[in-house]
Amino acid sequence: MKIILEPRAMQGLADEVRSRAGRIAFVPTMGFLHEGHLSLMREGKKRADTLVVSIFVNPTQFGPQEDLDAYPRDFDRDESLMREVGVDVVFYPTDKDMYPKGYQTYLTVEEVTRNLCGKSRPTHFRGVATVVTKLFHIIKPHVALFGSKDFQQLVVIRRMVEDLNMDIEIVGCPIVREPDGLAMSSRNKYLSEDDRKEALAIKEALDRARELYRNGERDARALVEEAHRILDLHPGIRIDYVSLCDAGTLSDIETIRAESVMAIAAFVGKTRLIDNCVFLAPDEEAI
Ligand code: AMP
């Protein structure tokens, strides 16, 4: 497993792989790896002969009051997990190499970033779109893999790749959960023992909404209200949003007609967690 720190060196390696008709799969991460990240890497290995993983805690996607400095980091542990999975190349740049002095170019994806996390984190997706574009130019992948835990991020990346004619296949992968249902996240490390129990209400709210949907409820407000009711039973939880949106446009909907997503963001103690559940269109949903 090669560890590459500099963008130019990474570009050279990508050129070399491409010159011998090799195929590059890419998994971008912020490190502090867990099974969710590893599932993307395993899928990437199936789809290419060279698997590149980036580890970069991207400062431009954090707001001024957010957890950039506290974000958990453990490169040694990440390194051994990546060796086990069979990662070929780790791209591990510094902030300075990614955003040198004088840096001033950013990318904005407009409509799909307005709702959900875009409301409470107004500069987040500008940072995500910018860094992912930079990483795409540095790593030159044929295929890139993203988790649907960050559902809006996946929609934003798909939109950006299509709008800018980027010749990269985007693969969305399922949410990996702890045995009790909590979606895996590097930020789960922040949770106290009590927080950890409270956090389960997020999955419970999604499951209950899904159950109502499967029983025939199509009124989005009824599902959102039920999710609110469940979360409100937990004093340790402060809701950021509960939304039911069209899965393609991410606009709020009133009635579920096409594929839609219930997305939740909530603070458990000081930790902001997100999770979601996709409802297939009524005629596709297997009952
Ligand atoms: P992060 O390191 O949090 O930026 O995440 C890197 C990638 O891993 C993103 O594409 C995430 O959507 C994905 N990811 C994070 N948590 C999970 C999870 N529990 N299941 C599946 N993918 C995940």
From the list 99, 77, 96, 101, the residue with the least C-alpha distance to 29 is: 77
| Position 283 confidence tier, pLDDT thresholds 50, 70, 90 | confident
Query: Ligand 1 center to residue 172 CA distance, Å?
Result: 10
pLDDT of residue 77: 98
Report strand pairing: 260-268 vs 237-246.
antiparallel
Residue 185 beta carbon below 6 angstroms from any ligand 1 atom:
yes
CA distances in angstroms from 64 to 59, 122, 123, 127, 226, listed in the order given? 10, 11, 10, 13, 33
pLDDT at residue 259 greater than cutoff 60: yes
Residue 171 beta carbon below 6 angstroms from any ligand 1 atom:
no
| Position 287 confidence tier, pLDDT thresholds 50, 70, 90 | low
Residue 37 beta carbon below 6 angstroms from any ligand 1 atom:
yes
- Cβ atoms of 133 and 160 closer than 8 Å: yes
Residue 7 beta carbon below 6 angstroms from any ligand 1 atom:
no
| Position 41 confidence tier, pLDDT thresholds 50, 70, 90 | very high
pLDDT, one tens digit per residue, over 141-200 is 999 999 999 999 999 999 999 999 999 999 999 999 999 999 999 999 999 999 999 999
pLDDT, one tens digit per residue, over 201-244 is 999 999 999 999 999 999 999 999 999 999 999 999 999 999 99
* Mean pLDDT (whole number) for 99-110: 98
* Mean pLDDT (whole number) for 276-286: 88
Q: 10 Å Cβ neighbour count for 131?
A: 22
pLDDT of residue 285: 76
* Mean pLDDT (whole number) for 269-277: 97
From 34, 37, 124, 142, the catalytic residue: 37
Residue 242 beta carbon below 6 angstroms from any ligand 1 atom:
no
CB-based burial label for 268 (10 Å; 0-12, 13-18, 19+): buried
| Position 286 confidence tier, pLDDT thresholds 50, 70, 90 | low
From the list 64, 68, 40, the residue with the least C-alpha distance to 54 is: 40
Annotated catalytic residue 37: yes
* Mean pLDDT (whole number) for 19-41: 98
Atom of ligand 1 nearest to the CA of 176: 20
Q: Who contacts 85 (Cβ-Cβ below 8 Å, separation ≥6)?
A: 38, 41, 42, 45
pLDDT of residue 284: 84
From the list 38, 61, 78, 41, the residue with the least C-alpha distance to 134 is: 61
pLDDT of residue 54: 99
Q: Atom 6, ligand 1: which residue's CA is nearest?
A: 29
pLDDT at residue 279 greater than cutoff 70: yes
Residue-range domains of the chain with CATH: 2-173 (3.40.50.620), 186-277 (3.30.1300.10)
